[in-house]
Amino acid sequence: MGKLALLRTLHVLKSRYSNQPHEGTDSRITASNRRQRSLNNERICRAIKQEGCPVCRLCSAGLESGWFWFFSESYAEGSGVNKYIDHWGFCNEHTKMIAKIGPKWQKSVIYSWIISSHLPNLERLQRTHLKFVQARNAIARRAARRSVDKVVLEIVPTGDCLFCESSLHAAQRHIAELLEALNDVEIRRLYENSDGLCMRHFFEAIGNLDSRHSAHLIGIIRDLRHLRDNFEEFFRKEDYRYCDEPKGDEQTTWIRSMSKFLGRNAHSDR
């Protein structure tokens, strides 16, 4: 039997076999789902136990391994290349990160491609703009203006930062895993005593909350009430009648508020 015929036969046998109800398959799938769920829960527990928002933690851990793949392969792959060229690179935060961690050769490739792709359009804009400036009458000026606007549209950054976009998808996945994990009583208890979600991830989670997820609302209301009370104390001590009272934690409420919004210590570099 030729190689092709053999492969075809194997393929037919495989598809027949996979269509047969097979004793034990369901239980194996269930066991594998259970194993996967328990691994997810362990990962989520580790993130909850750390300082700050667990989803921010999981996203930044994912981003660290994402950098490796980006600088190994994806930096030169089609859709990713188009994205960073169309966006003129990355957002400020991710540009700073790339400047710190990326290898020199790959960074040179990325930025040389961005510049070479946009330079012809900028040169075209310069020529079109010159025509606008030199237009002799209103009709010519209007026509030149339209050409300038058209070229400008081709130049301005479009789309999102590649890493912001993938972080958003990762966050949605981690939020779904977290909500699933909160069905476990132990994890729920752990979460209720943790820093909880940052405001950004709370807003992303809020659409998917059901009756089992009241921990999110309880946690966020508790934290914001605490911050509000601390601010009241801060402003009270700013009043000339009480300004001689000893200063305390209320003086740093603004840092804790910003950290709650940011998902990590607002004073830390990480």
Choose, by CB under 5 A, the member of 31, 152, 164, 221 that binds Zn ion: 164
Write out the two tokens for 268: 């830390």
Q: How far is the CB of 184 from Zn ion (least distance, A)?
A: 21
Could you give the string, one character per residue 52-71, with x where binding to Zn ion holds by CB under 5 A and - elsewhere?
A: -x-xx---------------
Question: What phi, psi does 158 have (nearest 5°)?
Answer: -125, 165
Q: Which of 41, 47, 82 is nearest to 62 (CA)?
A: 47
- In total, the chain counts a number of residues equal to 270
Binding-site size, Zn ion (CB under 5 A): 11
The residue from 91, 125, 179, 209 that contacts Zn ion (CB under 5 A) is 91
Q: Is 20 left (phi over 0), alpha (psi -120 to 50) or beta?
A: beta
Q: What minimum distance in Å lies between the beta carbon of 200 and Zn ion?
A: 6
Instruction: Provide the minimum distance between the beta carbon of 59 and Zn ion in the complex, in angstroms, as a whole number.
Output: 7
Binding flags for Zn ion, 118-157, as an x/- string (CB under 5 A)? ----------------------------------------
CB of 242 to Zn ion, least distance (A): 36
Q: How many CB atoms lie within 10 A of CB 161?
A: 21
Residue 170 beta carbon to Zn ion: minimum distance, rounded to whole angstroms: 11
Site for Zn ion in 28-57 (CB under 5 A): 53, 55-56
The answer to whether 220 contacts Zn ion (rule: CB under 5 A) is no
The helices-and-strands tally (H runs, E runs) of the chain is 12, 0
Query: What span, in angstroms and rounded, lies between the C-alpha atoms of 73 and 86?
Result: 19
Residue 55 beta carbon to Zn ion: minimum distance, rounded to whole angstroms: 4
The tokens describing 206, both together, are: 């809020």
Q: Which of 161, 170, 190, 220 binds Zn ion (CB under 5 A)?
A: 161
Q: Which stretch binds Zn ion (CB under 5 A): 17-25, 84-92, 204-212, 239-247?
A: 84-92
Report, in Å, the least distance between residue 255 CB and Zn ion.
Answer: 17
Question: Between residues 93 and 149, which has the closer beta carbon with respect to Zn ion?
Answer: 93
- Which of 70, 75, 84, 163 touches Zn ion by CB under 5 A? 163
- The Cα 215–Cα 250 span in angstroms is 26
84 within 8 A of 119, measured Cβ to Cβ: no
Are 235 and 206 a contacting pair, CB within 8 Å? no
Q: How far apart are CA 102 and CA 105, in angstroms?
A: 9
CA dist., res. 199 & res. 192, Å (int): 16
- Counting contacts by CB under 5 A, is residue 206 touching Zn ion? no
Q: How are the residues of the chain apportioned to helix, strand and coil, as percentages rounded to the nearest 5?
A: 80, 0, 20
Residues near Zn ion, by CB under 5 A: 53, 55-56, 91, 94, 161, 163-164, 198, 201, 263
